[in-house]
Each structure stands twice: as structure tokens, then as C-alpha cells.
Amino acid sequence: MPDLSAPACTAIPAPPATEARPWPSSVPVLIAGGGPVGLALSALLARHGIASLVVEADDGYCAGSRAICMSRRSLEILGWVGADQATVDKGLPWVGGRSYYRDAEVLHFRMPSEPGERFAPMVNIQQYYLEAFAHQAALACGPHADVRFGARVAAVRHEADGVGADLETTQGIRQVRAQWLVACDGGRSTVREQLGLRMAGTQYEGRYVIVDIVQKTRRDVERLAWFDPPSNPGSTILMHRQPDDVWRIDYRIRDDEDPVEAVKPENVLPRVQSHLDMIGETEPWEPLWISIYNAKCLTLDAYRHGRVLFAGDAAHLVPIFGVRGLNSGLDDAGNLAWKLAWVIQGRADASLLDSYSTERVHATRQNIAYGAKSTEFMAPPNFAFSLMREATLRLALDQPAVRSLINPRQSAPIAYTAAGSALNGPSDFGNDCLGAAPGMPAPEARLDGEHLTASFGRRFTLLWFGNSAPVPAELAAFAQTHATNLQLRVVVPAGSTPQPGALADLDGHAFGRYGAQAGTLYVIRPDGYVLARWRAPQAEQVRDVLAPFLQPPADGVRHAS
């Protein structure tokens, strides 16, 4: 029997070796927690020219697969720092899945996908690879990212114009002062505890054992689920393929089972073997990692507390069903990074960070609502839910109309249109519901062979839809004047008269998805969300909307080039 406390998978990457370095006494941003959210945030800040210090209590990247399903939106965010290609190269893409009641298929679903898309709807990859790729991306941005393993934030103090922190390190306690502290230190956040904050919501009793095994297979990469399978009667089983011939297997234990006993290998391995036998997976296999999980729907009421900000599991805990945990944490990082950079560089008022809290708390509440529905189906909390699930599954054998009730809605970027965000700007589209309204994620489109979303992440984007006429001179001059913070992208119909710098809408998707006609203008935030849009834009309107974000950098503050 292998030692499951030290996973046998030799593919787990190790952080790059670093020589002993003195600890800084002050930093612009201190990030508590070096998981994928903290490391991605560090890389994003570095791309904006903002220095950060990341402290992670573990000595290296995480053990076990943990979060494994990366959404298209998460890959876009990783792409802003150049970590997308490594993720795609290593990961296993998938577009759908199957669910079974006992041994009969009751659902085969597919997520939206199209030829030539930049990323698959989902990519399976172990969390430790994501941590490594995000770390490498941060280090590639020069001296701005300082990542220290084997150290943790032990105490936090609000100070004038900053935050003081005591760090526990191998050299003893070190004190660091930061302009801003971002807590990415997980569900048991020390920073949250230090500030006396508590998350509110629901914790479900149903428990799942999580097992990683190595076994070769020829099965397609799909999300697989079994309800009451003959291999484990009364249980629910989920399976996902991962790189390195790893299966991720989650199965629900009975309410009367002792969770301590449930994770012992002598109790886990026979259940795994029984299920592998049932589905015809006969290759030799080896266990790597065993853990246990129960679903939580918890969040802080606000993610900004003075100069302390919360992201990822330190801010919210959502169920794994629908893969919203890490994906929502990376969305936190994508939302926060540009706003924090703008504030530190003096380009925007600190109140901009309130919109981070407003938007991401709203997103969490939406994710919790979706996740709770999925959890109540996957792990019914009482007899009534069990009865409804049983009826649904039985009906699904012969009634295709009810099968959609079985499918947990997969993670997708949340719109902020109903969040009351200060960043939901004007629109003159009236009652026209076409296109992406302010507060919605900007749609993808292929333009002359490149993907529109690949141009987001660093600056605001003026997206102008034209025809054979050139860009209005006043709009072009405005973009040129503010080129540090602003880029102009011009989209024209395929087959129209070419003009310098314009991109042809080869598939017609851009005009259609943006509800655009010649002369339409969109303003898109650095994080790929729509700020404002007009069918008949006026120069003054554009200037007024962008004025809060186009302040010159404060004296002596380096800005991203």
C-alpha cells in the first residue's frame, strides 16, 4: 500500500529553488496565501507593474488534485499573464458529460462550443499544475512578484494608510507593512479570523470521499456521474479524467458512516475497485490521494474591509458541483487586479475597490444559488429531496423532457447587471436586448484569425464597429492620447473595404453577439466586462465615462507600459 500522505504521482511540480533573501520591510501588496488565486493575483499585478509579496504556509505546491476543472473564463484570465498555453498543453479539454441512474444513461449534455474557439468550455488539470504555471507567469514578469513558501501571516493590524502584518517564517517572526493586504489564505483564513469576520450561509451534512488514482484508460474526457450505481448502492459517484493517467473519483458516503473511518484505504479501495469493475476499467491502478469533503454555501458580506481585501476561499466557499470554487476565485483575481493597480498607481480613487466587493459578492450569491440546487440534487439533505431526486431519475429513463433537471449548471462568468455596480455605465440601446449590456462579460469573436478576448486584460478597450468609413477622428485622437490606459479595436464586416488596423468579422459573430451596426461603440473594462455602449456615441459621453480611470499616474509611481 503506498503512503497516501505523500502522493506517488511523480508529475507534481516543485517550486523553483531560490537563494535565501532578506525580507522586505514594506511592500505595495501583501498576498496571504500562495494557492492558485494568490499566485494568479500576483502575476496579474506584476503585469500592471505592481510589486507584491506572496506568503504561503506550505513548503510547495498543493498535494492531491483538489480543484480540477478550469472554465473557459479562467483560461482567459490565465491568458492575461501568459499561463494559458501551458494549461491547455497539459490539460484535458472536454465539452460535455453523461449521467447514469444505476447502470442506465439518463443524460448526455454538451456545453456551448464552436469550431475555431480559443478554449474548450472546460479543461481538466490538477491544481498543483495551475499553481506552478501561475507562479512561473508571475516570475516571468520581472522583479515585481516575490513568492515565499513556508511562511504565513500570523497577525494583522490596521495602520494609517496601510496594514501591518506579522509573518511566521523559518527565520522567526518578520514584520511587514503593506499598502494593501489581500487575503487568499483559504477556507480557514487567518486574516479573516484576525479581523473577527465570519462567513454566513449553509453547510450541508452530506460528505464525499475524494480519491485520485492512476489508471490508464481509453475513455473520452467527460464529466461522468452515477446515481445509485450497482457498484455502490445508495451512493452518488463522480469521475473525471486528468493528465498523467489520473482519475478523480468522488463518492458520497452514508450519513451514518464515520468520516474518519471512511477515508481509510481499507474502506476506500474496495469501493473504488467495485466501481471500476462495473464500468469495465480493468487496467492496474494505484491510489495517490484520499480526502473528504462536504458542501458549503458561505460568504462574507463584503470583500473589502479598509485596506484588507478578500478573494477565493477566504471570501467564499461554494459547492464543488458545477466547478465554481477555484473558477470563481480566479474571477475574483481578474476583477481585483486591475482595480488595485489603478488605485496604487493613482489613476483612480480608492473607492474603485468598493466595486470589487459589490460585484464579486453578487457573483458569489449567484454561484451559491446555482451550487445549492446542484448540491441538493447530488447529495439530498433530507427525505423530501431524496424522494424528488428518485422520481426525477426514474422519469428520465423514458422522458427526455426531465433530463435537463439532472444536469448541474456548469461554471460561467456572472453578469453584474443586477449587482448595483458603479461600473455599469450608460447604454443607448433602449429596449433592444441584443448584445452585451453594461455589466455583462464581453462576448468572444474571431477577427481575422485572432480572438477578441485575447486583447483584454491590460487596458480599457474601445471596440468600434465600422464599415468602409474610417474611425471618427475625434475617437482615434482620444484613444491615442490615452494609449497607456486605452486601446482602440476596429471591427468591420467581412468583405468590406479594408482600412488600416481594422479586423474583419470573419464569422459575423462580433456584429451579432454585440448587437452592433456601423457606428456602434463599446467600452470594455480591462477584465473583459462591458462598461458602456452606444449606437450613436458622442465624444463627450465617452470622455465622461472613462474620466475616473484616465487620471495620470501619481508622481513617482511606475505604471505598466
pLDDT tens for the 561 residues of the chain, in order:
334 544 444 467 888 766 678 999 999 999 999 999 999 999 999 999 999 999 999 999 998 878 899 999 999 999 999 999 999 999 999 999 999 999 999 999 999 999 889 999 999 999 999 999 999 999 998 889 999 999 999 999 999 899 999 999 988 999 999 999 999 999 999 999 999 999 999 988 889 999 999 999 999 999 999 999 999 999 999 999 999 999 999 999 988 899 999 999 999 999 999 999 999 999 999 999 999 998 899 999 999 999 999 999 999 999 888 778 899 999 999 999 999 999 999 999 999 999 999 999 999 999 999 888 888 888 888 889 889 989 999 999 998 888 888 877 777 889 999 999 999 999 999 887 789 999 999 999 999 879 999 999 999 999 999 987 888 999 999 999 999 899 999 999 988 877 788 999 988 999 999 999 999 999 999 999 999 999 999 989 999 999 999 877 665 444 332
Query: 175 and 66 in one domain?
Result: yes
Q: In the chain, how many domains are there?
A: 2
Query: 357 and 485 in one domain?
Result: no
Nearest to 464 by CA among 450, 478, 454: 478
Query: 479 and 331 in one domain?
Result: no
Position 408 in a domain: no
Cα distances (Å, whole numbers) of residue 272 to 216, 247, 363, 368:
15, 11, 36, 30
Position 322 in a domain: yes
Q: What CATH number did the domain enclosing 482 receive?
A: 3.40.30.120
Position 87 in a domain: yes
CA dihedral sign, ordered 253, 258, 264, 267 = negative
Q: What CATH number did the domain enclosing 185 receive?
A: 3.50.50.60
Query: 315 and 174 in one domain?
Result: yes
Cα distances (Å, whole numbers) of residue 475 to 408, 442, 500, 519, 543:
44, 20, 15, 11, 10
Q: Among the three residues 366, 390, 409, which one is the final residue of a domain in this structure? A: 366
Query: 458 and 324 in one domain?
Result: no
Sheet containing strand 122-124, strands side by side: 69-71, 122-124, 92-94
DSSP-derived 3-state class of residue 173: strand
User: What number of other Cβ atoms are within 10 A of residue 454's Cβ?
Assistant: 14
Q: Per-residue b/e over 458-496, b at no fewer than 16 CB within 10 Å? A: bbbbbbbbbeeeebeeebbebbeebeebbbbbbbbbeee
Query: 318 and 455 in one domain?
Result: no
Q: Among the three residues 349, 366, 383, which one is the final residue of a domain in this structure? A: 366
Query: 453 and 350 in one domain?
Result: no
- Assess contact for 238 and 225: CB atoms under 8 A: yes
Q: Among the three residues 366, 387, 409, which one is the final residue of a domain in this structure? A: 366
Query: 454 and 354 in one domain?
Result: no
- According to DSSP, the β-strands at 162-169 and 172-183 are antiparallel
DSSP-derived 3-state class of residue 493: strand
Backbone φ and ψ of 272, nearest 5°: -65, -45
- Name the residue range of residue 511's domain: 446-549
Q: CA 547 to CA 336: how far, in whole Å?
A: 19
Position 338 in a domain: yes
Position 46 in a domain: yes
Position 425 in a domain: no
Please enumerate in sequence order all residues whose Cβ is within 8 A of that of 492, keeping only pairs 6 or more positions apart, or say none: 465, 466, 467, 468, 499, 502, 503, 504, 505
473 is written with which cell numbers?
Answer: 477622428
Position 353 in a domain: yes
Nearest to 167 by CA among 63, 293, 24: 24
Query: 502 and 362 in one domain?
Result: no
- Assess contact for 148 and 56: CB atoms under 8 A: yes
